Structure 1
Amino acid sequence: MTKAKRTAKKLHHIDRAMSETAAAERQSGPMRVLAAVNELSDQPPLIALSAATLAAGLVLRRPALTRGGARMLASHLLATAIKTAVKRSVDRTRPHSVDDGYDYRLEKGGSRSHHYSSFPSGHTAGAVAVARAAARTWPAHAPAAAVSATAVGAMQLPIGKHYAGDVIAGALIGYAAEAAVGAIEAAVLPAMTRRSAS
């Protein structure tokens, strides 16, 4: 076994042990409340928030609000597409599913079962993408957006939804998706502005 493989195996064991320890009390009352709160960061609520921001900007004729909503929505949709592609290529058993008796897997994907869709964290990917898009539009609120996205990622462990590695991967996907949307916007918006001015 190569040094890189040994290191990866060691990190994998640490990831599992840390995450399973964090989820030891997932059936407790406070963790059940946290799991319910966590659903506010799922795809439908984040899409609704982004679309409502975009719609409010259009109705109120506020360009910054419109841009912010469009950025949030585009970043979330791209993060979701990337996350979905990765989930379909990797089967990893969720911590709560292992606790419920499912065999632990980390292998090439194929299953469409919720129990084997731990990698990466979609909640984290979406939350980071939307938070970064909002921060790009309203820099004064960047700290609050960062805290919110970090909280979404952090709560995945104690409620047994994800391993730490899943959360990190989700955060990277959200970050990359928003950066890609920002780069596209920076390339396209000036050209559109010049064309409409002429």
Structure 2
Amino acid sequence: MTQKTKNGRAEPIEKEPESAAEEAEQAEVEATMEVARHADHPAIKVLGFISEISDQPPAFTLATVAGLAGFLAGKPRLTEAGLRCFAALAVATAAKSMVKASVTRTRPFMLREHGHYDRRKGGPNDGPWNSFPSGHTANAVAVARAISRVYPQARAPAFAAAAAIGAIQVPRASHYPSDVVAGAAVGFAAEALVHRLWPEESEKNEVI
């Protein structure tokens, strides 16, 4: 499935959609191109830069720092939060990497800047072709859930931050909305698996 742009706007996909799914995909691509026209706006660039905190290197670093800080300061809850975040990130990273390696979907900026859109099984396993799913969103959701396990009072701000990180990926031309939704699902499932293997103390006591 390919699509080109003209003057920053998405042109109709050359091949007519053969199913409702393809028609929905075409509508999503065209809508994303309209939103991504603002990718160069200073506010979008700043928010996009801030969202990089959920990329793998900084996310794993922050989780590690939190765990070590908690251990050195004798704060077990902070240690647990750091470890839970690290574990959830590890599972989310493994899961999204498997999907990215098996599904090619060019990022919106490829269509916006180079007039190229491609979505198929297999293909290049490289950044510009790895739009699906959103790794930033997967990491943000996984961390938000992990933090809220240890600090329930932080649930609302943690999920608000995760939602903001996911939402900004579309106007910055890094992902399509369905990439963000899929990323959120990956993050949710990753943390759920960690929680199943590592239940909270109160749940352990209930089982006993």
| TM-score normalised per structure 2 | 0.84
Q: Which stretches in structure 2 are left out of the alignment for 5+ residues?
A: 1-17
Task: Write the mapping of 1:1-198 to structure 2, written as runs, cut at 5 A.
Answer: 6-186=19-199, 190=204
Question: Is the Cα–Cα contact under 8 Å of residues 93 and 102 in structure 1 kept in the other structure?
Answer: no
| Aligned length in residues | 188
Secondary structure (helix, strand or coil) at the match of 1:186 reads coil
3-state SS of paired residue (1:91): strand
| Separation in structure 1 between the aligned mates of residue 193 and residue 138 of structure 2, nearest angstrom | 14
Q: Distance in 2 between matches of 1:23 and 1:146?
A: 24
TM-superposition CA deviations, 1:70-94 (whole Å, max 9, x none): 1111001110110111000011010
> How far apart in 2 are the matches of 1:102 and 1:42?
26
The 1:187–1:54 alpha-carbon spacing in structure 2 relative to 1, beyond 3 Å, is closer
Q: Which runs of 5+ in 1 are unaligned?
A: none
How many Å separate the matches in 1 of 2:42 and 2:76?
44
Q: Which amino acid aligns with 2:129?
A: Y
Local SS of the residue matching 1:103:
coil
Q: Paired residue for 2:12?
A: none
Question: Matched residue of 1:120: which SS?
Answer: coil
Q: 1:56 to 1:37 in 2, by over 3 A?
A: same
More helix by share: 1
TM-score by length of 1: 0.88
How much has 1:24 moved relative to structure 2? 1.0
4+ long deviations beyond 3 Å = 187-191
Q: Which whole-Å CA distance do the structure 1 matches of 2:118 and 2:179 have between them?
A: 14
1:187–1:61 distance in 2 versus 1, CA, 3 Å: closer
What's the Cα RMSD here? 2.0
